[in-house]
Amino acid sequence: MADSAILQNILNPPVLFFFLGMGVIIFKSDLVIPEALSKFFSMYLLFAIGFKGGHELFKTPFSSEHALTLLACSIMATLVPIYAYYILKVKLEKHNAAALAGSFGSISAVTFVTAGAYLHNLNIEYGGFIVAGMALMESPAIVIAVILDRLSKNRANGGGSINWKALLHEALFGSSIYLLVGALIVGYLTGDSGWNAEKPFTEDLFKGILTFFLLDMGISAAKRFKELTHVGFFLIAAAILLMVINASIGLLLTKVIHMPEGDALMFVVLCASASYIAVPAAMKDMIPEANPSIYLTVALSIVFPINIILGIPLYHYLVKAIM
């Protein structure tokens, strides 16, 4: 891979602000991002990418490639948490293995957004169906992780019934998926008129708010660095192994489907990412026995930085190599 691709990604302002946020903790600065503002950044990004994806769907006729892409998203969302669980439970207690497998099976919308900014800098487009695929990939892992946890409880002591109503409600109507899918639908229904009306907010402000959000994420990631000593070498190695496996399967599927360059990169990024927002929020209630310092630290302080610093340009290089 050309070193210039990695350097170009690192010198991208949002990524540099991620490092700047880490410096807040390292150098003990008193800079603080208010929690309400952090929540707004997250909501804005979900709204903006969902709305843009809906507009792209409006412009793009449905094709067999789109159907196969959505099928590939469904396959990955179903399979990843299952094999991740069996890899992780080699060393982890089953509750923690299930929760962390759910994180790997779901996706990181912010990693997706960062990859979109990377493509925008290269003047490469990606389609709205990838945004729909992202929405499709977020929830199934939550359901599967809880099922795996409950099955392990049932085998152990005959307990652990599944509250299907609460589980499905969280998976389908949790705040992240609700806003993302809702914005996607509105963007599709309003078409060009809606896009033109919202463009100053959804397009022109996007990169600036992404930059502030990654500043906040840098602060959050650095706060959890000390917890890496508690998760141990196995979890670091397992996280990297799962990223490699997931990205490799994603690359294979892009080759089989013949995805265009932009769509292929975004799909591989989704496959290789891990959720640190939607899944931890769900696991807190659904698998309370799991330790948040494991599944949140691995997703936020290992997988996320590796992906936005090295992963995105590496995946792009590999996508181009196999096309």
Nearest Cα to Cα of residue 255 among 320, 310, 313, 307 = 320
Mean local confidence (pLDDT), 135-150? 85
According to the model, what pLDDT value does residue 231 have?
67
Determine what percent of the chain is predicted with pLDDT higher than 70.
Answer: 94
**157 pLDDT above the threshold of 80:** no
Task: Note whether 274 and 303 are within 8 A (CB).
Answer: yes
pLDDT band for position 104 (cuts 50, 70, 90): very high
Q: How confident is the model at residue 162 (pLDDT cuts 50, 70, 90)?
A: low
Q: What is the pLDDT of residue 46?
A: 84
Residue 3 has pLDDT above 70, yes or no: no
Q: Which residue has the higher pLDDT, 74 or 152?
A: 74
Structural domain spans, the chain: 1-26+33-322
Among 128, 107, 130, 110, smallest CA distance to 118 is for 110
What average pLDDT does range 135-155 have in this prediction? 83
Query: Cβ neighbours of residue 88 under 8 Å, at least 6 residues apart?
Result: 96, 97, 100, 101, 238
State the pLDDT confidence band at 50, using cuts at 50, 70 and 90.
Answer: confident
**Cα–Cα distances in angstroms (integers) from residue 132 to residues 136, 164, 202, in the given order:** 6, 24, 17
Location of structure tokens 């990693």:
111
Question: What pLDDT score was predicted for residue 272?
Answer: 97
CATH of domain 1-26+33-322: 1.20.1530.20
Give 244: exposed, middle or buried? Use CB within 10 Å, 0-12, 13-18, 19+: exposed
Both tokens of 316, joined, read 């792009």
Q: For residue 167, name the pLDDT band (cuts at 50, 70, 90).
A: low
What pLDDT is recorded for position 124?
94
Summary mean pLDDT of the chain: 87
pLDDT reported for residue 150: 81
Q: Which of 136, 138, 81 is nearest to 110 (CA)?
A: 138
Convert the pLDDT of each residue in 226-276 to its tens digit.
776 766 889 999 999 999 999 999 999 999 999 999 999 999 999 999 998
Binned at pLDDT 50, 70 and 90, residue 73 comes out as very high
299: pLDDT strictly greater than 60? yes
Q: What is the DSSP letter of 288?
A: T
* Segment 93-114 mean pLDDT: 92
Q: CA 67 to CA 30: how far, in whole Å?
A: 49
CA torsion sign for 216, 306, 82, 76 is positive
pLDDT of residue 151: 82
| Residue of 286, 251, 248, 244 lying closest to 265 (CA atoms) | 251
pLDDT at residue 147 tops 90: no
Q: Is 61 left (phi over 0), alpha (psi -120 to 50) or beta?
A: beta
Classify the phi-psi angles of 191: left when phi > 0, otherwise alpha if psi is within -120 to 50, otherwise beta: left
* Contacts for 291 with CB less than 8 Å, ≥ 6 apart: 96
Which of 133, 157, 102 has its CA nearest to residue 276?
Answer: 102
State pTM to two decimals.
Answer: 0.84
CA–CA separation, 73 and 271 (whole Å): 8
* CB of 294 closer than 8 Å to CB of 100: yes
